[in-house]
């Protein structure tokens, strides 16, 4: 197991990384299924009630931002979040990262291709991971430019590459690309600005 068990403030046991990765994976599978399903009325009612029940359970387990797991587990797929298309970091250092991504059916735009908003979402996530590296002050996206070169197909393993381009004081420029085999599907460039102390 990649994560140590730890007692939380309530005296309970915090879920380990492997179990949390499985939970987020199950959430992604659910969203993919929801996106293509045409439920009948009773099924929709049953699901709505089940989801409301789980929202209540999880609501009772809410934590402060710094203590949350969603998007904060570096060792697991997509840092343990389901908000962006799924990805996995294969190599990472201060200069950038390489990885693989998969756009599930939840991220469908039309005619089998990914939604145009999901592509910048993934870039912003990956850029944020690279820019907000260890020992660096937090930085926010000032602009994000995306060129859509070819449609991003769903349910395929895509190659990811993100790299720091240059730095000018608080300004950090970063670039990235998403490839389907040899085809560049999207290229992006962004400016991140390091926050001053006390800046929200
Ligand atoms: C996320 C931070 C926390 C990290 C926590 C770490 C743990 C988790 C780790 C990893 C998580 C990964 C999750 C993904 C996260 C991805 C990041 C986001 O999506 S952030 C949300 C979207 N972005 C905003 O909401 C920004 C809103 N805008 C602002 O807050 C300000 O405008 C800000 C900070 C960007 C700049 O404002 P100023 O007041 O600090 O600085 P000024 O003086 O305006 O600009 C500084 C320099 O930058 C240039 N600049 C600013 N904006 C520009 C622009 N749009 N285009 C060109 N230049 C720009 C200016 O011209 C200036 O340049 P000259 O120093 O004069 O050379």
Q: Which domain-ending residue is among 26, 42, 67?
A: 67
pLDDT tops 80 at residue 3: no
137 within some domain: yes
Question: What are the residues whose beta carbons fall under 8 Å from the beta carbon of 4, sequence distance 6 or more?
Answer: 16
Task: Compute the distance from residue 96 Cα to the ligand 1 centre, in Å.
Answer: 19
Confidence check: pLDDT of 1 > 70: no
Residues 105 and 180 in one domain: yes
- Taking 60 as the threshold, does the pLDDT of residue 8 lie above it? no
**In this structure, are 99 and 25 located in the same domain?**
no
Q: Is residue 97 part of a domain?
A: yes
Tens digits of per-residue pLDDT, 79-113?
A: 999 999 999 999 999 999 999 999 999 999 999 99
Q: Would residue 124 count as lying in a domain?
A: yes
Residues 165, 117, single domain; the answer is yes
Q: Are residues 108 and 158 in the same domain?
A: yes
Residue-wise pLDDT for 26-69, tens only, equals: 999 999 999 999 999 999 999 999 999 999 999 999 999 999 99
Give the range of the structural domain holding residue 52, as residue numbers without chain letter. 6-67
Q: What is the pLDDT of residue 14?
A: 86
CA angle 155, 158, 3 (to 5 degrees): 85
Asked, for residue 133, whether it belongs to a domain, the answer is: yes
Ligand 1 binding pocket, CB closer than 6 Å: 124-125, 128-129, 132, 138, 140-143, 170-171, 191, 193, 195, 199
Domain assignment present for residue 78? The answer is: no
Name the residue of 97, 142, 195 to mutate for ligand 1: max ligand atoms within 8 A of Cβ: 142
Contact by Cβ (8 Å): 187, 149: yes
To test the pocket of ligand 1, the residue of 193, 195, 197, 198 to mutate (highest count of ligand atoms within 8 Å of its CB) is 193
In a domain, 1, yes or no: no
DSSP assignments along 118-152, one per residue: HHHHHHHHHHHHHHT-TTS--EEEEEEEEEE-SPP
State pTM to two decimals. 0.94
Residue 6 has pLDDT above 80, yes or no: no
What pLDDT score does 11 carry? Answer: 54
Over the stretch 146-171, which tens digit does the pLDDT of each residue have?
Answer: 999 999 999 999 999 999 999 999 99
- Residue among 140, 192, 194 whose CB has most ligand 1 atoms within 8 A, to mutate: 140
ipTM for the whole complex: 0.97
**CA pair distance 113, 107, nearest whole angstrom:** 9
Q: Is residue 74 part of a domain?
A: no
Decide if pLDDT at 2 tops 70. Answer: no
Q: pLDDT per residue over 175-193, tens digit each?
A: 999 999 999 999 999 999 9
Total domain count for the chain? Answer: 2
Kindly state whether residues 95 and 175 are assigned to the same domain: yes
Based on the fold, state whether residues 130 and 170 are members of the same structural domain: yes
Distance between Cα 196 and ligand 1 center (Å): 10
């Amino acid at each position: 197991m990649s994560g140590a068990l730890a007692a939380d403030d309530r005296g309970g046991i915090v879920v380990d990384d492997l179990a949390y990765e499985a939970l987020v994976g199950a959430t992604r599978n659910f969203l993919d299924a929801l996106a293509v399903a045409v439920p009948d009325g009773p099924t929709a009612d049953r699901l709505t009630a089940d989801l409301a029940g789980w929202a209540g359970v999880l609501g009772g387990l809410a934590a402060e931002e710094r203590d949350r797991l969603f998007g904060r587990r570096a060792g697991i797929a997509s840092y343990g979040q389901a908000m962006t298309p799924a990805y996995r970091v294969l190599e990472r250092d201060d200069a950038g990262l390489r990885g693989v991504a998969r756009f599930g059916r939840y991220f469908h735009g039309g005619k089998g291709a990914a939604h145009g908003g999901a592509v910048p979402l993934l870039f912003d996530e990956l850029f944020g991971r690279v820019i907000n590296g260890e020992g660096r002050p937090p930085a926010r996206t000032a602009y994000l430019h995306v060129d859509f070169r070819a449609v991003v197909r769903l349910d395929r393993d895509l190659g990811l590459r993100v790299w720091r381009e240059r730095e000018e004081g608080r300004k950090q420029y970063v670039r990235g690309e998403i490839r389907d085999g040899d085809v560049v599907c999207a290229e992006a460039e962004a400016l991140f600005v390091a926050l001053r102390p006390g800046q929200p």
